[in-house]
Amino acid sequence: MPLNFLNKDKQDDSEEIVDDDFVELDAEVAEGNKKAVIRAETLQEFDDIEAVQDHLRNDHIVWINIGPLKSRDMTNLKRAVNRLKKTIKAIDGDMAGVDESWIVACPSYAEIARSTKEKGSQAP
């Protein structure tokens, strides 16, 4: 009988059930209630990129208005975007241009969904 251990009166002493193999699970609650923080920053100067980097390192999603820096100093804008790209790579995040004046950047727990539409095609 395969389940002979259920029959107490017919149990053989050589077939003891060993309770030593068990796994103790931690009952600590995961951070499931943690809210995502979304920040908006404006790049007026090249040095403003440091605040954006700090927010990303603190797991915040950041919308970055690059319009003011773009209109004044294209060289510093390129430097700022390159610095931002390095930070995104270091934290395994993602970033995308939204339009001519806005970039969205996010840490590793978030992902930017990109449109799969090809240019010139129209949605049904």
Over the stretch 23-46, which tens digit does the pLDDT of each residue have?
Answer: 565 555 555 667 899 999 999 999
The answer to pTM > 0.85 is no
DSSP class of residue 40? E
Give a three-class secondary structure readout of 45-110. CHHHHHHHHHHHHCCEEEEEECHHHHHHCHHHHHHHHHHHHHHHHHCCCEEEECCCCEEEEECCCC
Interval 72-122: pLDDT, tens: 999 999 999 999 999 999 999 999 999 999 999 999 999 999 887 655 545
Residue whose token pair is 């951070």: 31
Domain-wise residue ranges, the chain: 37-106
- Considering only the top CATH level, what class is 37-106? alpha beta
